Chain A
Amino acid sequence: MGKTLFDKVWDSHVVDSVENGPQVLYIDQHLIHEVTSPQAFEELENRDIPVFRPRQIIATADHNTPTTNQDLPIKDELSKKQLEQLSTNCSKNNITLYELGHKYNGIVHVMAPELGITQPGMTMVCGDSHTSTHGAFGTIAFGIGTSQVAQVFASQCLLLPKPKSLRVNVNGCLKNGVLPKDVILYIISKLGTNSGTGYFCEYAGSVFETMSMEGRMTVCNMSIEMGARGGMIAPDEITFKYLKNRQFAPSGSDYKNKVAFWKTLASDKNAVFDKEYFFEAEDIEPMITYGTNPGMGIKISDNIPYESNSSFLKSLLYMNLNAGESLINKCVNYVFIGSCTNSRIEDFRVAAKYIKGRRKAENVTAWLVPGSKQVEAQIVEEGLKDVFESAGFKLRQPGCSACLAMNEDKIPKGEYCVSTSNRNFEGRQGPGSRTILASPLVAAATAVAGKIIDITKELETLELT
């Protein structure tokens, strides 16, 4: 029987197997940040265990950082302490840290790929569930808990049962204005939020084969929202080209050898998956969510469905929405373009394309938060910042920001926020906040109109590339 992409990478990283138990998986690259690492360092210290392979760890500060005045001291005492703790832990243990203000600083899942740290065929972990993002490179990448962070510190390995395999195929041509975010929101709305539990998902088909790396990252990022541990896309010419000349990617003859190896990673033709789904690109339209989990999504022009179970009703009550209602013309006062799902340069290009020549609506507070210092610099370089500013938008500094609202970027209670992030849980963007997930295009259109509009009416005439 043939092997899947996932099998190939997983099997080549198995150090050992516990009888009747999990396997010992070797981890090539470990990413850490300020929120889920301190207790792991503490655990090691308490047990007097050294960090086993500090050179295979990269740290960044992102979850808890302010997105304005990053050059000034941090006001929030607890956040400040957490960041200082990260610096202390990294310097004590010889771990490379891209701290606040560093030119490589950014959201962990934005900065590592853009620096070429993420490479095909690797195993990668981070104490953050959206580590699945890196799967866009044909990498086994997944989020872990803090105990596991400590395990990787101690041994560069994890004890895990091998997940099952799932493949989601989307074939055909996406309509103009239908973005990778819509593709993944569509898939999750069809499959539900726990269809992937216990599985690692591979995305295949012409839609992904022609998608940019940024788009693939958006898709893989949200694999966790259908319960899957991670998502992967077979590396191809688009991947190789993206990696070429990145700071930490292999170069010269090393690059050539690596490419030859990376080409072997695709799933074999006769590989069998435990579960497989097929979708048509033509069926996908711009999506929005109406509820409090990412599976509660509809085509922007559709009405909210009718369901009678108590979780569904609780969710609509929280959102102050009704079954059967349309979201079109719903007034929205907050828009967030950012998060590791949609804060890469392409996302800001799309938003800028739409915004150019228009103005932000008076009622809207819009937060545009780049995923990294490098994205921020590119936004300036490409003149997008000017486009945003002349339309009345302000660009903030990089970080997770309103995606999880740990810093001061919080959506007020009761307010709707059209957000390009990945989770619409109760209170995710601040206590009582109501999140509507969408693509950067829908977010930009909402910011301009001050309400949700039926973007499908404009799609044919929109120029996005």
Chain B
Amino acid sequence: MEKFTTLSSRAIPLEVENVDTDQIIPARFLKATDKKGFGDHVFRDWRYHENGKINDEFILNDSTYSGSILIAGNNFGCGSSREHAAWALAGYGFKVIVSSFFADIFRGNALNNGILPIQVSEVFLKTLLDKVSKIPQTQIEVNLEEQLISISDTSQSEKFEIDAYKKTCLINGYDDIDYLLSITNKIEAFEARKNN
């Protein structure tokens, strides 16, 4: 996994609540047997009209906005547990997703794929959305070590929470499998106790 420490980027404001993983990556794209190419299909049915034409009204198709940070409405990533949603967002180039609330499984999936989900207050989310919508060039700074997200050239910032273990994983670029394999002896001892 790629390491993550700090990021400074423009952001894309997606003012929609309850974005579910069926929207992030529709089921018909789940037939692949590897992780490649999902970025092309992220938000497929919002990005394209049914006739295959680009939907100019969708924010990802608006060239005014760019960046590797997605700012979305409350309850992002609800619904299906498909990790393909995280692969699609990562494949498209997002490294940070900001929302006032994340669904459990999505949060885990994002972290396991090097995407940092940052949960901010409703108020700060609104500030971010307003600012970025009005001034698309706004730079957003993320500092994982300090657990801080801030709007460049302003004093506006907010601390965010992250599990200490997950933070260490992201900063060092290692994942849960590495950790679990390092405690195989403990797992075997547990099995032995359990079967007695």
Interface residues of A (CB under 8 A from B): 15-16, 18, 20-22, 24, 26, 35-36, 38-39, 42-43, 47, 49, 52, 63-64, 76, 78-79, 81-82, 85, 127-129, 143-148, 150-151, 154-159, 161, 193-194, 197-198, 227, 229, 293, 309-311, 314, 404-406, 413, 423, 425-428, 431-432
Contacts A42-B34, A425-B79 known; A20 to B18 CB distance under 8 Å?
no
Q: Which of A155, A161, A423 contacts B180 (CB 8 A)?
A: A155
Q: Is B103 an interface residue (CB 8 A)?
A: yes
Chain B residues near A155 (CB-CB < 8 A): 177, 180-181, 183-184, 187
CB distance from B47 to the nearest CB of A (A): 13
Cβ-closest chain A residue relative to B101: A194
In angstroms, Cα B112 to Cα A144, docked, is 12
Q: Which of A15, A194, A310, A406 contacts B30 (CB 8 A)?
A: A406
User: Dominant SS at the A interface?
Assistant: loop
Is B33 in contact with A38, judged by CB distance below 8 angstroms? yes
In angstroms, Cα B104 to Cα A21, docked, is 16
Chain A residues near B181 (CB-CB < 8 A): 49, 154-155
Beyond contacts A128-B81, A425-B23, A428-B27: 19 other A-B pairs, Cβ-Cβ < 8 A, are A15-B186, A20-B164, A21-B164, A26-B191, A82-B33, A85-B33, A129-B80, A144-B81, A146-B84, A151-B177, A154-B181, A155-B181, A159-B165, A159-B176, A193-B75, A194-B75, A227-B103, A293-B78, A413-B50
Cβ-closest chain B residue relative to A89: B33
Within 8 A of A (CB), among B90-111: 101, 103-105, 108-109
Q: Which of A43, A81, A431 contacts B33 (CB 8 A)?
A: A81
Interface residues of B (CB under 8 A from A): 15-18, 20, 22-23, 26-28, 30-35, 45, 50, 73-75, 78-84, 86, 101, 103-105, 108-109, 112-113, 163-166, 175-177, 179-181, 183-184, 186-187, 190-191, 194
Most buried by B among A47, A145, A147, A161: A145
Q: Which of B18, B86, B175 contacts A311 (CB 8 A)?
A: B18
Q: Which of A147, A197, A428 contacts B112 (CB 8 A)?
A: A147
Most buried by A among B16, B35, B176, B183: B176
Cβ-closest chain B residue relative to A126: B81
Is A314 in contact with B16, judged by CB distance below 8 angstroms? yes
Q: Which of B74, B108, B180, B186 contacts A145 (CB 8 A)?
A: B108
Is A15 in contact with B183, judged by CB distance below 8 angstroms? yes
Chain B residues near A24 (CB-CB < 8 A): 180, 183, 186-187
Chain A residues near B180 (CB-CB < 8 A): 24, 151, 154-155, 157, 159
CB distance from B149 to the nearest CB of A (A): 21
Q: Which of A16, A146, A154, A197 contacts B103 (CB 8 A)?
A: A197
Is B165 in contact with A79, judged by CB distance below 8 angstroms? no
Contacts A154-B177, A193-B78 known; A425 to B20 CB distance under 8 Å?
yes
Cβ-closest chain B residue relative to A146: B83
